[in-house]
Structure 1
Amino acid sequence: MTKQPVLHGPRHILLRYLSVSLFSRTAICCGILIALMELLALLDQMTPILRRHLGITGVLTYMILHLPAMMQTALPLSVLIGALLMLTQMTISSEVAILRASGLSPVGFLRLIVPATLAIGLLGIVLEDQITPRTELALASWWNRTDPHPEEGHAFWFHVPRGQASTCGMPVTNQSTASELAHVGYVTHAGHEAWEIDLYDRDSSGRLLRTLHADHADHNSTKGWTLHDIRCTAVSFADLNATAEDDTAPEARWINPFGPADMLRLSLDSSPLSSGMILDALHGRIATNLTPGYLRASLFERFLRPLSLVVMLLLAMPVIYIPPRTGLRSWLPVWCLGTGLLFIIVQGMFRAMGNAGLLPAPVATVPGLIIFTLAAGTALLRNEDK
């Protein structure tokens, strides 16, 4: 006798049905949340846009460039609400009861929804790692180019990596031991011009060698940075006595490895970075005003995004135990939603401690996932035993 093949068609149909249901409800919830966030953002930015005479084109440009960042923010909550809507509707319409009567356990039911959740999580990684950094930088560039009062911009500090310092554009005896601390008042032309620049050159022991003030600097794709209207003070040490010599120059080259995009990024309070840029920042290859703890925690949290969405799905699973006769009168979906919001808050608290350097990056990202996974698993087991 020949063995008959096992048919997997019904399971594939169920997998496709649940995946499409979760995708559609998540997309609807994400669209509603994004619309609300866009409305609130426009209420705050509408006056500056109109003062710059950008009109409806400026409004649309702001909305489109800011869309990926808002989608990234709305995605976790959208998955939670979308899963709650799908599972509650299936429970009330007795679909869950029919599936369980056919032999599908809650674990099997969960396994059918997890692939769609992981796919949404991977989409979130691509969005956060590749799309949002580019669109937010493009938004900052557009906003800086259209600013009628750039002198009111954000001042910032940064450190030129050791061995790449310009030493105020003047020759030194051992440049490889020099480092440079820079302060920029504001930037214009999307980071291609910097104003009110103060540079502080130091030796390998941190002792001040010279200071420089330049009214402004501009960037050329071939020449790099050029300082203009320079006033430099050199400090020399001899017999434990420090002497200072002043000098001026119309212009000098600024050997600065950071380009206009880095200057623009530094002028922002916070700017999203891709994983490659985070690694470069941790190794000192690009400028950033973020702490190493913040960068490491961001990297861990980014690649744990699919797991955090699976935890959101687990927190929504208890609604499958709503009695069909109770229907929408049950408070269980509300409790599940509250637990999901608590998960977001706890993750934010751990992340804040990681940003401040109080916790290592793994400790600032993983414990929240473990705690709420165990809590959701316990709730499912207790309901299953009843």
Structure 2
Amino acid sequence: MKTQPPAPTHVLLRYLSGVLFNRVMFSSAILVGLMEILALLEQTTPILQRHLGVAGILTYAGMRLPFLMSGALPLGVLIGALLMLTQMTLASEMAILQASGLSMWGLYKRLVPATLLVGALGIVLDDQVTPRSEQALAAWWNRTDPHPEDGHAFWFHEGGRLAHVRYVADGGNMLAHLDLYTRTPEGLLQETLHAERADYTHAHGWQLHAITRVQIDQQKAQRLPAEDSMPWQTTLHPWDFIRLSAENPPLSSGTIIGMLRGRLPSDSSSGFLQAGLLERFLRPAAMMVLLLLAMPVIYIPPRTGTRSWVPVWCLGAGLLFIIAQGLLRAMGNAGLLPPPVATIPGLIIFTLGAVTALLRNEAK
């Protein structure tokens, strides 16, 4: 029995989605290459000063690649869609498709699968690949640092304890000037502990050295005898301190949920964590908005050709969307806006603006 050939609509769906996906990946690769060059121009001197050579440069570039790729995808979708639609319009392919009965919304629906695929790829990069690669890069950078004492101090809370670390060394296996503040369930200070150094080994876990402690009972402080060393009972590992010592490191959704529930140490506010989690899973929706903002180029007048300003206006609208989302997210991180307000309104506003522009062109 002979099988029936696929319907033309499926052929058109595969063709348009495939072309868009290829354009997006090509544009993203160019953007990543440019960002890699700029990053290496800044970091090559420190890498060579640490005597890491060409291998160190390649290691840095490879570990930085997922982070750059994740950041380049939104702009890659915008540029890739503009390139594809502009080329099809100037080559009269759009006129042929419209003459065959394909509407503007029909074209958009056939480009949605590729856009959602790129959005899903962005989620995987943000949620799984980038946090691991950035943590490995931070550990490698810290391990090869000849002057770790120049690193910045940081605070974090773990359960009922508040802690301060002066700096991290040896890839997270050594902590300098550790201060632990233990509180009662009512939030009152119960004990302070200062250790000059904390070392981690797989055999013995964390060991504190040169310890001084002060206990507070009924508003009275009592200094306990100094100790040379003692074990530190904690669930934290060296990679946790590498993460805490970094400024705004990428976090997986599992880590964010653990921080919000109090199971993992955190130095970020709950609003910051919630906004990051919400923005991550709304990434496919943001890609859909960027595709919508690129759609008006199909209305370029045939006689205008490459002299048309429509692609420029579409590119500007897409860049404005990316900047607006970044500003709203920054306000959410600062606690000025609740997480839903810092992520969702921008999507709605730019979607309505793009739909309005498309309907006006469709009515002409």
1:275 and 2:253 correspond? yes
Paired residues of 2:177 and 2:196 also in contact (CA < 8 A)? yes
Query: Counterpart in 1 of 2:101?
Result: 103
1:207 and 2:207 correspond? no
- Alpha-carbon distance in 2 for matches of 1:136, 1:340: 28
Query: Counterpart in 1 of 2:230?
Result: 252
Query: Counterpart in 2 of 1:83?
Result: 81
- Alpha-carbon distance in 1 for matches of 2:323, 2:274: 20
Query: Counterpart in 2 of 1:229?
Result: 210
For the pair shown, which has the larger CA radius of gyration, 1 or 2?
Answer: 1
1:365 to 1:202, Cα distance in 2 relative to 1, 3 A: same
1:295 equivalent among 244, 252, 273: 273
The amino acid across from 2:211 in the alignment is: I
Query: Counterpart in 1 of 2:243?
Result: 265
The amino acid across from 1:298 in the alignment is: G
Query: Counterpart in 1 of 2:329?
Result: 351
- Alpha-carbon distance in 1 for matches of 2:6, 2:137: 49
Larger mean CA deviation between 10-19 and 309-318 belongs to 10-19
How far off its partner does 1:99 sit?
0.3
How far off its partner does 1:223 sit?
3.3
Larger mean CA deviation between 10-19 and 126-135 belongs to 10-19
The amino acid across from 2:340 in the alignment is: P
How far off its partner does 1:358 sit?
2.2
Gaps of 5+ in 1: 162-178
1:63 equivalent among 61, 64, 76: 61
The amino acid across from 1:275 in the alignment is: S
Which whole-Å deviations, capped at 9, do the CAs of 1:50-98 have from their partners, x for residues lacking one? 0000011000000000000000111000100000000000000100000
The amino acid across from 1:313 in the alignment is: L
2:161 equivalent among 172, 180, 202: 180
Count of matched residue pairs: 362
* RMSD between aligned residues: 1.5
Which whole-Å deviations, capped at 9, do the CAs of 1:177-212 have from their partners, x for residues lacking one? xx3221111111211111111122222233322322
1:196 equivalent among 153, 162, 177: 177
How far off its partner does 1:288 sit?
2.2
TM-score, length-scaled by structure 1: 0.91
How far off its partner does 1:294 sit?
1.0
- Alpha-carbon distance in 1 for matches of 2:223, 2:212: 11
The amino acid across from 1:195 in the alignment is: A
Paired residues of 1:93 and 1:324 also in contact (CA < 8 A)? no
Query: Counterpart in 2 of 1:360?
Result: 338
The amino acid across from 2:265 in the alignment is: A
SS at match of 1:197: strand
- Alpha-carbon distance in 1 for matches of 2:221, 2:31: 62
Query: Counterpart in 1 of 2:9?
Result: 11
Paired residues of 2:158 and 2:264 also in contact (CA < 8 A)? no
Which whole-Å deviations, capped at 9, do the CAs of 1:348-382 have from their partners, x for residues lacking one? 12111211222221221111111111111000100
Which whole-Å deviations, capped at 9, do the CAs of 1:296-331 have from their partners, x for residues lacking one? 011111111011001000000000000122111000
The amino acid across from 1:104 in the alignment is: L
Identity %: 59
SS at match of 1:133: helix
- Alpha-carbon distance in 2 for matches of 1:28, 1:335: 22
Task: List aligned pairs for 1:162-177, cutoff 5 A.
Answer: none
2:51 equivalent among 43, 50, 53: 53
How far off its partner does 1:253 sit?
1.6
- Alpha-carbon distance in 2 for matches of 1:243, 1:100: 82
How far off its partner does 1:276 sit?
0.8
Gaps of 5+ in 2: none
Task: List aligned pairs for 1:286-365, cutoff 5 A.
Answer: 286-365=264-343
1:33 equivalent among 7, 25, 31: 31
- Alpha-carbon distance in 2 for matches of 1:305, 1:190: 32
1:55 to 1:109, Cα distance in 2 relative to 1, 3 A: same
How far off its partner does 1:112 sit?
0.6
The amino acid across from 1:304 in the alignment is: L
1:119 equivalent among 105, 117, 120: 117
- Alpha-carbon distance in 2 for matches of 1:127, 1:243: 50
SS at match of 1:247: coil
The amino acid across from 1:198 in the alignment is: D
- Alpha-carbon distance in 1 for matches of 2:173, 2:89: 58
Query: Counterpart in 1 of 2:197?
Result: 216
SS at match of 2:138: helix
- Alpha-carbon distance in 2 for matches of 1:366, 1:278: 19
The amino acid across from 1:13 in the alignment is: V
